[in-house]
Every structure is written in structure tokens, then in C-alpha cells.
Amino acid sequence: VNQLEARYRERSLWLDQCPGPLEPRAPLSGDVDADVAVVGAGFTGLWTAYYLKRLQTDLRVTVVEKEIAGFGASGRNGGWASAGIAGSPSVYEHRVGRDAVLRGIRATQEAVDEIGRVAGEEGIDCGYLKTGVLAIATSEPQRRRVEATVRAQHARGLGEEDVRLLTPAEADGYVHARGVRAASFTPHAARIDPARLARGLAEACERIGVTVYERSPALALERGLVRCPDGTLRAPTVLRATEAFTTLLPGERLTYLPLYSLMIATEPLSAEVWEDLGWRDGLLVDDRRHLFFYAQRTTDGRVAIGGRGAPYRLGESISETRERNADVRARLERTLAQTFPPTAAARITHHWGGPLGVPRDWSMSVTFDRVSGLGFAGGYSGHGVAAANISGRTLADLVLGRSTDLVTLPWVGHRSRSWEPEPLRYVASNALVRMLGSADRHEDETDRDAKRVRLIASVLPPG
Ligand SMILES: Cc1cc2nc3c(=O)[nH]c(=O)nc-3n(C[C@H](O)[C@H](O)[C@H](O)COP(=O)(O)OP(=O)(O)OC[C@H]3O[C@@H](n4cnc5c(N)ncnc54)[C@H](O)[C@@H]3O)c2cc1C
């Protein structure tokens, strides 16, 4: 158990700092019956189980998790519970129209508040603090992208109170970042400690009568049953909540591109350093590079900052060796020191990463088929914290046959095509991160747009 505990703690700063033991719950053994089987105890699976049980107390809801609750991206991410569509609004716009997309965006804003509400109600101490996101631009191309993004959001129906442009001087009132040419701010985002939220949610689920089995990998999901190594879970409804790990299940290899996002965290910084940084507590900050960074001021006074760009070896699309990468780590350290100079002397205590599920069109889906009883949610393309809360409520409504506003959101029933078979997917994925990295270097050095990004437009999120 100690070795296992060490392995779980190594997966992220958040899991490492989680209070209490990370001892796995009992695994599934023998034949077990339930009304609803949920596979995966990340945010998607746990929110789904939570809302199902809250809506119908006598429903037997059982979760099976390969490792422990919060082992996946949910226990490792940047801790941004932030509004905005997971994926590309334009993909849904073609199918459902502008009004429906605006309703979807509003739903993501509500989800940020809903996460805070449940955390409060269930006594989950996850450092929830709704301070918003500051997006900064540190070059001319980035400035144009910040402005274009805000214009596009206003054209979709959002107002100044949802997202607005700031001058460098105004941005400085949120945090003293170096080299800011322009910025935008949205209040619709909260900082969280993601592992504490995931682990707290698993406990909240159990308190209301959900059964959670850990160390219980589903080997196959079929109509009416989930096979695990030591037992079988029988349930008329089977819901898959395995996001990037879905690609390890039979027949699902090309469902998502498993991209990795990697993070580093500083040691806790002194009060003087925070004073020098002028960083509002809870404020989330990102930039507009192609391989953008995302950062938060943590509850225990560290900066946790992440970014993408880790390549993969053929046949190792999901692998713990991808979770750490010297180049990405060095890039993040450089970005941190350059953008927030008072942090330059701080020790980096943690480096970790995890997989994101990216569908071919970069757009999420929540799907349930009443006839087979099979459903799933995921494909958040790296933006799943708020989205998974919506997915959980939506799957619960779909399973219980409730005709709420959630079940007609743009991503319900959305289908993305598969990725190209290997080695094409591998070539595309590595070309993507290489090209984006080189475009950023070009833009930083010349202050001009990197046109080369157009060469990989076919694998980027549709604009
Ligand atoms: C480094 C990083 C930073 C990120 N930052 C942010 C952010 O700041 N904001 C944001 O919105 N999003 C962020 N994301 C994305 C976000 O974390 C994910 O979209 C979200 O957590 C997905 O939740 P999930 O429950 O669907 O999947 P996961 O959390 O990945 O959960 C899937 C679970 O299923 C389990 N599992 C897998 N296979 C099986 C099986 N066969 N049987 C049983 N169980 C199985 C896994 O062990 C895992 O616990 C980030 C992701 C990473 C990796």
C-alpha cells in the first residue's frame, strides 16, 4: 500500500498535498447489481453519480475506478473552474445555431457557481475562490488574439460584464506581470484545488449512498454489464466517464487524441513576494501564446503553472513517462521567471502532468442511448472542470428521463469522427506541438504573426 500511496502522490502537487491517506477503497469482487454503473471516478463520473443519487435517493448507483478517485486529469489539472465552451463554439453553431451556443456558454458560467455551491453544501475544503481570469498578451500577435477573442465573445452575445479588454495599467491592478501589451478579464472562473474537490466529491457520494469501488479497472463495457478483473457489475445503465483513458478501451483507440498538459509548482512564497507580485488571491492568469500557459495562486501560496507541448512515442499514447518532460518544464520555468520576476528565486517543488481527451473536432459530447442503456461524457480538450459538472447533471437528467434545459444543450448527442489511424495520429500530434512551439518562438522574437500555424490548421480546433 505504501508504494501505491507514493505512486498516487507523485501524480500531482494536489494529490501529494491531499490530507489523509490515499489508501484505495475496496475493489469490486464477485457479481454486483446496480441500477446505474459509472466507470471512472474523475469529475465526470463523480458528478454524475452525485446528481443521480440526489435526484432519486433509492437509485442504486455504483462507480468503478481503475485506481483511486481523482487519479486522472481531475486530480492533476490547473484548478481552473472556468466558464467557456469546452471545444469550439463554431462546431456547435453549425448544428444548433447561435442562440443555443449562447445558452451553452451561460450554462458553463452557472456551472462555476454550482461547483462552489456543492463544495459549500458538502463541506468540501477545496479552496474555491471565484476571482476570475486575467488573459495577458505579451507580443503584438498575442494582443491581436486577445482583442479578437473578446470581439468574438461579444459577437456571440456576451457583454462587458462577462468579458472585457483591459489596458496594461488596468491589468497591473490584478497582478504585476511583465511585458503586458493588452489583457482581458472575465469574472466567470474560480480557483480550486482539484484533487481535494475530486476526493471530497467521492466522499460526498458515499455519504448519500453511492458505492465506489477503487482499483477496479473496467476491462470492457457492454450492454447491461461492466467486467472487472475480480467481478462483474450488472446494471441496465452503463456510463463511461474515462475521458483520455477511453483510448485504452477495446474499440476506442482513435476516439480521442491523448494530448498531455504538464505543470510545475513553486514552493510556498513569502508574504513579501506575494506583495511584490501584486497577485489577487485566487486570480487565474493565462497568456495567448499558441502553447499558452495557465497559472493559479494556490491556497497554500504557491504558483502552479502549466502548459502543453509534451510529444509522444508511438504506442505510448497514454503513459506515465509522458507526464514529465525536461523541455516543457524548462519552458514553464522560463515563462514563470520572465512573466513574474519576483518568483525567479523560488524553488520548483513539483512537476507533473496528465492526459486530455481531444476529439477530432475538439468538441465535447454528452450522450445517452435509452435503448442500449449506454452513455458517456467527455472530450473536453483540456477544459473539463466546469464542463464535467454540466455533464454530470446532464447525464443524470438523461438517465432519469427528465426534460430539463440541460438535455438540449449543444453538445448533447454530439458526434465527433475518429482520429486518423497510427502512425498518422502520432505524426499529427507531434507536428502540432512542434509547430506551435516554433510559432511561439517566432512571435516572441519578431513580434509578427507566425503564418506557419496555418499549415496545421486541419488538426487545430476549428475557428
Ligand atoms: C495538467 C492538466 C491541466 C488541466 N487544467 C485544466 C484546468 O485548469 N481547467 C479545466 O477546466 N480543465 C483542465 N484540464 C482538463 C480537466 O482536468 C479534464 O477535462 C477533466 O478533469 C476530465 O474529467 P473526467 O472525469 O472526464 O476524466 P479523468 O479525471 O481523467 O477521470 C477518468 C477516470 O477514469 C479512470 N479510468 C480510466 N480507465 C478506466 C477503466 N477502464 N475502468 C475504470 N476506471 C477507469 C481513471 O483512472 C480516472 O480516474 C487539465 C488537464 C490536465 C491533465
Structural Rg of the chain based on CA atoms: 21
How far is Cα of residue 396 from the mean position of the Cα atoms in its chain?
20
- Asked if residue 390 has its Cβ within 6 Å of ligand 1, the reply is no
Query: Distance (Å, rounded) from C-alpha 383 to C-alpha 386?
Result: 8
Query: Distance (Å, rounded) from C-alpha 244 to C-alpha 262?
Result: 15
For the chain, what is the mean pLDDT?
95
State which of 63, 246, 356, 362 you would mutate to test the pocket of ligand 1, scoring each by most atoms of that ligand within 8 A of its C-beta.
356
**pLDDT score for 303:** 98
Query: Distance (Å, rounded) from C-alpha 430 to C-alpha 434?
Result: 6
- Asked if residue 378 has its Cβ within 6 Å of ligand 1, the reply is yes
Mean local confidence (pLDDT), 189-207: 98
Mean local confidence (pLDDT), 115-123: 98
Question: Does 313 score more than 80 pLDDT?
Answer: no
Question: Does 1 score more than 70 pLDDT?
Answer: no
Q: What is the pLDDT of residues 392-416, one digit of tens each?
A: 999 999 999 999 999 999 999 999 9
How many angstroms separate the alpha carbon of residue 342 from the centre of ligand 1?
32
- Asked if residue 43 has its Cβ within 6 Å of ligand 1, the reply is yes
Question: Does 87 score more than 90 pLDDT?
Answer: no
Q: What is the pLDDT of residues 19-32, one digit of tens each?
A: 989 999 999 999 99
- Asked if residue 104 has its Cβ within 6 Å of ligand 1, the reply is no
pTM of the model: 0.97
- Asked if residue 384 has its Cβ within 6 Å of ligand 1, the reply is yes
List helix spans (H) across 138-279. 140-155, 168-172, 194-207, 271-277
Mean local confidence (pLDDT), 60-65: 98
Residue nearest to ligand 1 atom 31, measured at CA: 42
For residue 230, give the C-alpha cell. Answer: 475480480
- Asked if residue 44 has its Cβ within 6 Å of ligand 1, the reply is yes
- Given the CA of residue 86, which atom of ligand 1 is nearest to it? 11
Q: How many helices (H) does the chain have, and how many strands (E)? A: 12, 20
Question: Does 463 score more than 80 pLDDT?
Answer: no
**pLDDT score for 258:** 86
- Asked if residue 116 has its Cβ within 6 Å of ligand 1, the reply is no
**pLDDT score for 309:** 83
Query: Are the CB atoms for 257 and 311 separated by under 8 Å?
Result: no
How many angstroms separate the alpha carbon of residue 42 from the centre of ligand 1?
6
Three-state SS at 401: coil
Q: Quick check: bond before 21 cis, omega within 30? A: no
- The 3-class SS string of 60-113 reads CEEEECCCCCCCCHHHCCCCEEECCCCCCHHHHHHHHCHHHHHHHHHHHHHHHH
For residue 313, give the C-alpha cell. Answer: 512515442
